[in-house]
Structure 1
Amino acid sequence: MKTLIKSLLLAASLSFTAGSAFAENLPIKFTLDWKAQGPHSWFYLAKEKGYFADEGLDVTIDQGEGSSAAVTRVMSGAYDAGFGDINAVIRAAAKAPDEAPVMVYLVYNGAPFAIISEKDGDVQSLTDLEGKTVAAPTGSATFQLFPALAEANGFDASKVELLNASQNLIEQMLVRGQADAIAQFGQTSYMNFIAMGLDPNEDFNWFYYSDHGLDLYSNGVIVSRELIEDHPEAVKGLVAAINRAIMDVVADPQEGIDALVKVEPLTDTKLETERLQYTIDNQLETTETAEIGLGDLDMERLENSIEMNASLETFDTVPEASAIFDASFLPEKAERMLPTTN
């Protein structure tokens, strides 16, 4: 009998050890919203510095095809988590509430959505877009939210020809006259114009959605409902690791760029450093984050975004804000306050 008891205890011990080993190396597939650029450097830094490993996570980071596409990727089950647009999460939750991912950490408190046209072109105001062509990747949130921009600014989106374009050809299409305007993340096009030898401020018009009636949030860390249900501690650890890396990069952007270069050796370091700083200054550092810290959001502002999205298309069910964003996985506010830089 003693021998049997010892055998059972040994088996239970081995089973527990194996389970713990798996928990300490939980694989997480993470999708970016775009090709690897400066504003993605904190994800790579979290991996390089072992922040994910410290939380018992083995994170694989893949490049993306748009901030809305990142939501679709997580919904499909191909990815456990990603960097996606909260407005795409809202639309997904309205159509498939049991499958839509949940945002657990907001990064872009200030939305980067913009319509861009040439300074001497035919589009000098948003109403000029009627009868014109606008190029954008269909997987981008800027493209998906274009009808809302039209509604808020009194022009007919159905009278605008929307062109699906490859992510690396958007700015070239505008400059070559293949499109009258483009719908893009501001920091993406701004730096791409610089790389093309153009002056973003002198050569182009910038119509930011946030300046034209759409006070929206944008990208953040999204996770699958399955990951939340099966491994809530992994979600908390993922958020903690990313937050830790973001604080490092804001304090020392060069550290982030160095991590990015190790993954993408052909990175234009000067350009991506500028893109990273532009993003920090415009998307991360806002009046709101100065009050509540990065990662969190104002639920009333989110509810307004839900109402705006619901006005664009028929929702079977209008999701609650609590189904879109879950703040329970956030680190303490003191850990999410952006460091002061000179």
Structure 2
Amino acid sequence: MYRGSRALAATLLAAVLVTASACSSSDDGSSGGGASGELKKITYVTAFGALGRDSFAWVAKEKGFFKDAGFDVDIQKGAGTTQNLSMIKSGQAQFAAMDFSGAEVVAGQGKFTDWRAVAAVHQRTLVAIMTTKDTGISKPADLVGKKVATGKGSVSELLFPAYAKLAGFDNKKVTIQPVQATALNQLMAKRQTDALSTFLLSKNALETVAKKDVVVLPYSDFLSDLFGNVIVAPSSLIASDKDQVKRFVDAAMKGLQYTLDHPEEAAQIMNKFEQASAVPAAVAEINAMKPYSSSVNGAALGHMDQDRVARSIAALQGNGVMPTGLTPDKVADFSFIPAS
């Protein structure tokens, strides 16, 4: 009788433990990692297409960083700041990458406001003037009297007047040629323009198309406080589920660090998912962006300095790119990646 009671008690105890284990391993997507339970389905949008600068997202997916954080991430190819912010605003995406300066400008204009930058992919702006060496353009003042092609409505077009002012030449004496961003390199290769205002990470692609040496004049030489690409999230999501945002940011930064450390593997991973993305071009982009992504003054990778954001806003406002009134807290949440 005593042995029978002990057996029954042991059976009941085992059942309780199994039930408790099942409950503890369930995942409603609001917190916890992804080692067990159902993963939270979310959408992330790249800055623009499937280029080397965005390969870290596919790396985080392939290496299991997103899964470990509790996410099943659908990576969609973005098409620039306006479209990406539209997807954030409509709820089609929970996270997106984009150029921070462009996003600041539209926020300052009151067009998109329900978002905050939560991590910096690039610590400096990637916008630059690029031209082939045979044009004779070697310094900003050489652009006077020339034609400069730029992506229509892009941040590179938006920032050109500020760059010209700080670089010491009159932007009105330069002919700006707004075109589709995908047409830029061909225009330069055919000498249908004198220079491009574009992203410096495409230097290798321009050299390949033009078959000439390329001269790069970075905007950051004069607009040193501007960030490049950042990851943004809806401010409403930050308010309702800060833990989810924190877990995503940490996983994305693991992907970014791995990408910077292993460019060839990162490019191959992206090519696995996006076969049109050429591995050599992606490797070149990753290597080119390393000095722009590296942490500043020993801060953690992805950290955004609040004083620098304030100065970037002041630079954009002071050069007439957007009206006054915008403050750092309206475009960034600095709590996700502390300085150390």
TM-score range, shorter chain: 0.7 to 0.9
Out of 294, 307, 319, the position equivalent to 1:285 is: 294
1:284-307 Cα shifts (integer Å, max 9, x gaps): 236x1x511211133222211110
**Residues 59-138 of structure 1 aligned to structure 2 (within 5 Å):** 59-67=73-81, 69-96=83-110, 99-121=113-135, 123-138=137-152
1:202-244 Cα shifts (integer Å, max 9, x gaps): x332211112354421111111112212322211111011011
Alignment of 1:205 with 2:215, yes or no, is: yes
Distance of 1:138 and 1:312 partners within structure 2: 20
Count of residue pairs the alignment pairs up: 312
**Paired residue type of 1:321:** P
1:79-125 Cα shifts (integer Å, max 9, x gaps): 32211122123223323387242111011013221111232226443
> Which of structure 1's runs of 4+ aligned residues deviate more than 4 A?
314-317
Out of 160, 179, 191, the position equivalent to 2:204 is: 191
Q: Which residue of 2 aligns with 1:9?
A: none
Q: Which residue of 2 aligns with 1:276?
A: 286
Q: Which runs of 5+ in 1 are unaligned?
A: 1-15, 334-342
Out of 242, 246, 256, the position equivalent to 1:246 is: 256
Q: Which residue of 2 aligns with 1:339?
A: none
Conserved in 2, the CA contact under 8 Å of 1:209 and 1:215? Answer: no
Q: Which residue of 1 aligns with 2:165?
A: 151
Alignment of 1:307 with 2:314, yes or no, is: yes
Pair member with larger Rg = 2
1:128-180 Cα shifts (integer Å, max 9, x gaps): 33443221223532222112101212333334332232232211101212211
- SS in structure 2 of the partner of residue 61 of structure 1: strand
1:18-60 Cα shifts (integer Å, max 9, x gaps): x943545433222211121222221001112232222222322
Aligned CA distance change for structure 1 residues 72 and 158 (closer, same or farther; 3 Å): farther
Conserved in 1, the CA contact under 8 Å of 2:99 and 2:228? Answer: yes
Conserved in 1, the CA contact under 8 Å of 2:44 and 2:93? Answer: yes
Alignment of 1:231 with 2:241, yes or no, is: yes
Name which of structure 1's ranges 72-81 and 295-304 shifts more when overlaid on structure 2. 72-81
Residue 62 of structure 1: how far off its partner (Å): 1.5
Distance of 1:98 and 1:118 partners within structure 2: 37
Residue 245 of structure 1: how far off its partner (Å): 1.3
Q: Which residue of 2 aligns with 1:35?
A: 49
Q: Which residue of 2 aligns with 1:294?
A: 301
Q: Which runs of 5+ in 2 are unaligned?
A: 1-22, 31-37
Q: TM-score, normalised by structure 1?
A: 0.81
Q: Which residue of 1 aligns with 2:265?
A: 255
Distance of 2:152 and 2:305 partners within structure 1: 28
Aligned CA distance change for structure 1 residues 123 and 42 (closer, same or farther; 3 Å): same
